[in-house]
């Protein structure tokens, strides 16, 4: 194995990724090399003439091969920034997308406008915990809970909460609202399953099943459980809109991420369940991304 420096390795990795059809070869190469070398990208670019140790070059070469095979950079380095926070990600969770920051921004805007303090909030289909933790980080006063059906995803979410908000989110394993536990024997108060919330957020799987095969290699490696929304993409969305009104306190708000093409159907579903003041928010690309409905 021939010795090389950081700059040469960076160029080599970028060329391999470009020839392999990766959309952002230079960026991906820099992220993977910085990870392999134990440097920040800033230090990497500032010291491109520094020799790269053979063992670290071997790690980098392995990462490039895995990237060419379709693994995402986020999973390879085990990290993804979301709302300015450094989240752990694994193959067991959906990688947080910048578009989903729209859901967090909408939640924080509603909480601020309504003057909600110390209120209970619930995040469904939490995955890595990104939405729940980002909201809790910005609003430490919230009584934040989150649920997911995947125990592996919840393991990642709990670790992210421990690191980023001191464990300030309570996680429950199960199917949507059924994850909330019933009262234990001898407990006279209301069960958590009967509890109402001021805010419910959800980023459920909303892709039509037939579209999964056409996704990029990177996305196809993510958990199908977090992507497959059934024949029309609305299976979980229908359940959330059907069950959420009973879980909202008066004046409480439901926020859901979905595809822009689904917003008309979501408006109808929310209206059928008695939610009012229904509105849609666009993501950074101007695409309809988040729908909001309020319980009178």
Per-residue CA distances from 30 to 14, 130, 203 (Å): 8, 25, 30
What's the pLDDT tens digit per position in 71-90?
A: 999 999 999 999 999 999 99
290 forms beta bridges with: 257, 281
**Which is higher by pLDDT, 224 or 281?**
281
What's the pLDDT tens digit per position in 154-164?
A: 999 999 999 99
Q: Is the pLDDT of residue 190 over 70?
A: no
Per-residue CA distances from 78 to 16, 94, 168 (Å): 22, 12, 22
Task: Give burial (CB, 10 Å; 0-12/13-18/19+) of 289.
Answer: buried
Report the C-alpha gap between 201 and 292 in whole angstroms: 9
What's the pLDDT tens digit per position in 235-248?
A: 999 999 999 999 99
Residue 114's pLDDT is what? 75
What's the pLDDT tens digit per position in 258-269?
A: 999 999 999 999
* DSSP 8-state assignment for residue 207: B
Please name each of the domains of the chain with its CATH number: 4-69 (1.10.8), 90-294 (3.40.50.150)
Q: Is the pLDDT of residue 102 over 80?
A: yes
80 forms beta bridges with: 87
| Residue 53 near residue 104, CB atoms below 8 Å | no
Task: Give burial (CB, 10 Å; 0-12/13-18/19+) of 251.
Answer: exposed
Report the C-alpha gap between 175 and 258 in whole angstroms: 19
Report the C-alpha gap between 244 and 263 in whole angstroms: 17
| Residue 204 near residue 182, CB atoms below 8 Å | no
| Residue 116 near residue 168, CB atoms below 8 Å | no
Residue 193's pLDDT is what? 62
Residue 2's pLDDT is what? 56
pTM of the model: 0.90
Residue 181's pLDDT is what? 80
Longest CA–CA span in the chain (Å) reads 71
Count how many Cα atoms sit within 13 Å of the Cα of residue 280 in the half-sphere of its side chain: 17
Ramachandran class of 224: left when φ > 0, alpha when ψ lies in -120 to 50, beta otherwise: alpha
Residue 191's pLDDT is what? 57
Report the C-alpha gap between 29 and 289 in whole angstroms: 30
**Which is higher by pLDDT, 225 or 160?**
160
**Which is higher by pLDDT, 113 or 243?**
243
Report the C-alpha gap between 146 and 223 in whole angstroms: 18
What's the pLDDT tens digit per position in 194-222?
A: 789 999 999 999 999 999 888 888 888 88
Q: Is the pLDDT of residue 174 over 50?
A: yes
Residue 185's pLDDT is what? 46
| Residue 102 near residue 108, CB atoms below 8 Å | no
What's the pLDDT tens digit per position in 21-64?
A: 999 999 999 999 999 999 999 999 999 999 999 999 999 999 99
Strands lying side by side in the sheet with 169-173:
169-173, 143-148, 120-124, 197-202, 248-257, 288-294, 276-282
Residue 289's pLDDT is what? 97
| Residue 160 near residue 128, CB atoms below 8 Å | yes
**Average pLDDT score, the chain:** 92
């Amino acid at each position: 194995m021939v010795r090389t420096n950081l700059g040469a390795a960076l160029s080599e990795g970028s060329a391999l990724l470009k020839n392999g059809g990766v959309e952002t070869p230079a960026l991906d190469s820099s992220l993977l090399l910085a990870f392999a070398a134990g440097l920040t990208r800033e230090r990497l670019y500032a010291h491109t003439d520094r020799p790269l140790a053979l063992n670290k070059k071997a790690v980098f070469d392995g990462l490039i091969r895995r990237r060419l095979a379709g693994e995402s950079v986020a999973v390879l380095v085990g990290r993804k920034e979301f709302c300015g926070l450094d989240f752990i990600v694994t193959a067991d969770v959906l990688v947080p997308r910048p578009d989903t920051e729209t859901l967090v921004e909408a939640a924080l805007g509603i909480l601020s406008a309504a003057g909600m303090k110390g209120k209970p909030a619930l995040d469904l289909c939490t995955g890595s915990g990104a939405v729940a933790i980002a909201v809790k980080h910005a609003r430490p006063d919230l009584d934040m809970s989150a649920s997911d059906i995947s125990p592996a995803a919840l393991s990642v979410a709990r670790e992210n909460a421990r690191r980023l908000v001191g464990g300030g989110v309570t996680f429950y394993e199960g199917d949507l609202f059924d994850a909330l536990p019933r009262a234990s024997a001898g407990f006279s108060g209301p069960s958590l399953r009967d509890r109402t919330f001021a805010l419910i957020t959800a980023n459920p799987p909303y892709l039509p099943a037939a579209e999964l095969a056409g996704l990029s290699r990177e996305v196809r490696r993510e958990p199908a459980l977090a992507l497959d929304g059934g024949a029309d993409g609305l299976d979980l969305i229908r359940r959330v809109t059907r069950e959420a009104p009973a879980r909202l306190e008066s004046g409480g708000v439901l926020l859901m991420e979905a595809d822009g093409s689904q917003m008309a159907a979501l408006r109808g579903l929310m209206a059928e369940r008695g939610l009012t003041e229904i509105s849609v928010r666009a993501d950074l690309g101007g695409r309809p991304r988040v729908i909001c409905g309020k319980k009178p």
